Amino acid sequence: MNFKNMTLLRVFHFSTVFILGLFVMTLHAETGEKDINYEKIGIPEGVDPIAETYMPVVASDFETVKAKDVEDKPMIMKRQKDLLERRYDLSNMPSDVMMSGGRKAVQKGVRVKLPEGMTWEKLAGMSPAEIKEKGLFPEGFLPLPHAKHETGGQVFPQNHIDQIMTLEKRSLKRFDVEFDLPDHLMPEFPPPIFISTRPDLGDVSQGKLLSIDNYYEIMHGILTPVQMEGLRLLLTPFPQQQFNQTDDRKVEAPSLGVSCLDCHANGHTNAAFHLNPDTRPQIARFRLDTVSLRGMFNQQIHGSKRSLRSIEDFTEFEQRTAYFDGDHVIAAKKGVNLPDRASQVAMMAQMQNIFDFPPAPKLDTFGRLDPNKATEQELKGEEVFFGKGRCAECHPSPFYLDDKMHDLKVGRFYKPEMINGQYNISDGPIKTFTLRGIKDSPPYMHDGRCLTLEDTVELFNLVTRLNLTKEEKDALTAFMRQL
């Protein structure tokens, strides 16, 4: 089949899918039909799934939707604020450890609140069944809902919104929802940039946020032409579910869209979040915290649940459907970008593959602590990590990941329920994420439910039944801050 025929076939495919989806959604809209088999899709009787398989293609009048969203926004944000304050200690408690760019201190302390009268030691001594039956699983360890779970979509922190408006005059500010976590619990901004092709240069960001406006000036003479083109494409905005030029959007004016590095700021993360594209119905999807692209060259699977086998696959898939809630029908309506595998995707992948981990001066060539540089507590933490803590079974050195997916079976500890628009089923298998440079990328876990490294240690100690002492837990945290 020649190129022209392949192109025509692709256009025909997307047109057909779009028309079919439009017909089905219009039929339901006109007849008012919503026959839901609650038992089949595993949600509580009478709860609106919002969207079962397909997202709604036919939208109401933009001004009507916007007015309702603006009216509801204070209630939505108060609902999320109340949940966060009920679950966590959100105060500013900086440690004496700085993130890799030296722009922000790593936060310390366990932030997840325990049920009244409970201690971590007492909870760890109870069985999963007893914790579940008595409702004692800490709320902060439950799945964290999207700030507006009913709608979902990408939500950006205010610092990134402000910078992109200044640099590009492009708005990433939604009128229906805002970012929900305080700044001190987020990664430093803008993040430093380390590249594997020029480790001698250290941070090459110049303290700036990369954008389509400044990337050439910052990277000229450092990147190859292929890498530079890849970076340009990673910084080019394309239509997305909430940011596009149709009436079905959540931004004031028609928008060019978002870029890959609007979430993966400087090849790292700014803690932007959305909903995973691979779960249905809508209320059962989970919040997805943006993962860092650092060390992508050593990762063999991509996506929290999709297990895509190359960064090229991931890049192509993100553009086609993940930008649109995993729905290629609605993507056709809003202007899906179909990057060419050979001339665009390959270059974007090459650029992503040179984002490097930050320096870890206390680690040796094999990713283990140098005894001449590490403290006694850090060395104790390393011993726990590779021993009693069993962390290395999923996070082996030197890159502290195993390219596998694992299920913590957290559902053993709680009964699913509706909270802030989410039906919080157990998450199932999730990709192992690297722990190299982990101090730079709070919050933690795939949905950001753990605000500090201390929180993650308490979570794993509880759900994997490790029975660590306080001394061991503190040492483990100290070790991970050196990775």
User: Model confidence over 125-180: pLDDT tens digits?
Assistant: 999 999 999 999 999 999 999 999 999 999 999 999 999 999 999 999 999 999 99
CA separation for the pair 196, 295 (Å, rounded): 9
For residue 406, what is the DSSP state?
Answer: E
User: Are 355 and 296 within 8 A, CB to CB?
Assistant: yes
Residue 14 lies in a domain: no
Per-residue confidence (pLDDT) for residue 54, from 0 to 100 = 87
pLDDT at 321 over 60: yes
pLDDT at 198 over 60: yes
Residue 262: pLDDT band with limits 50, 70, 90: very high
Give the domain range for residue 173.
Answer: 36-480
Please compute the mean of the pLDDT values over residues 84-113 and round it to a whole number: 97
Residue with more model confidence, 311 or 193: 193
Centre a 10 Å sphere on the Cβ of residue 39 and count the other Cβ atoms it contains.
8
pLDDT at 5 over 80: no
Closest CA to 378 of 229, 481, 463: 481
Q: Where are the alpha helices (DSSP H) in 32-156?
A: 38-41, 62-87, 120-124, 128-134
Per-residue confidence (pLDDT) for residue 378, from 0 to 100 = 98
User: Are 86 and 461 within 8 A, CB to CB?
Assistant: no
Per-residue confidence (pLDDT) for residue 214, from 0 to 100 = 97
Both tokens of 349, joined, read 């992948």
Average of per-residue pLDDT values in the chain = 91
Both tokens of 246, joined, read 């149709």
pLDDT at 15 over 60: no
User: Are 141 and 410 within 8 A, CB to CB?
Assistant: yes
Both tokens of 225, joined, read 């032409």
Q: Residue 236 carries which side chain, given as an amino acid letter?
A: T
Residue 23 lies in a domain: no
Per-residue confidence (pLDDT) for residue 319, from 0 to 100 = 77
Per-residue confidence (pLDDT) for residue 30, from 0 to 100 = 37
Please state, for a pLDDT cut of 70, what percent of the chain lies above it. Answer: 93
Residue 358 lies in a domain: yes
pLDDT at 23 over 80: no
Task: Give pLDDT tens digits for 336-371.
Answer: 888 899 999 999 999 999 999 999 999 999 999 999
CA separation for the pair 392, 6 (Å, rounded): 47
Q: Residue 376 carries which side chain, given as an amino acid letter?
A: E
The three-state secondary structure class of 453 is helix
How many domains is the chain built from?
Answer: 1
pLDDT at 12 over 70: no
pTM above the 0.85 mark? Answer: yes
CA separation for the pair 462, 111 (Å, rounded): 15
Residue 47 lies in a domain: yes
Question: Strand pairing partners for 288?
Answer: 274
Both tokens of 381, joined, read 């933490």
Name the residue with tokens 């200690």.
Answer: 89
Residue 178 lies in a domain: yes
For residue 184, what are the CA distances in angstroms to 61, 175, 290? 39, 24, 17
Angle at 94 between CA 90 and CA 97, to 5 degrees: 140
CA separation for the pair 46, 29 (Å, rounded): 19
Residue 29 lies in a domain: no
Residue 82 lies in a domain: yes
pLDDT at 3 over 80: no
Per-residue confidence (pLDDT) for residue 221, from 0 to 100 = 97
pLDDT at 10 over 60: no
Residue 21 lies in a domain: no
Angle at 382 between CA 379 and CA 385, to 5 degrees: 155
Residue 210: pLDDT band with limits 50, 70, 90: very high
Per-residue confidence (pLDDT) for residue 57, from 0 to 100 = 79
Task: Give pLDDT tens digits for 395-415.
Answer: 999 999 999 999 999 999 999
Residue 28: pLDDT band with limits 50, 70, 90: very low
Please compute the mean of the pLDDT values over residues 71-89 and round it to a whole number: 98
Q: Residue 56 carries which side chain, given as an amino acid letter?
A: P
Per-residue confidence (pLDDT) for residue 35, from 0 to 100 = 82
Per-residue confidence (pLDDT) for residue 305, from 0 to 100 = 80
pLDDT at 70 over 50: yes
Question: Would you list the DSSP string of 194-254?
Answer: -BTT-GGG---STT----TTTHHHHHTTTS-HHHHHHHHHHTS-B--SSSSSSSS-SBSS-
Please compute the mean of the pLDDT values over residues 284-308 and round it to a whole number: 91
Angle at 418 between CA 413 and CA 420, to 5 degrees: 115
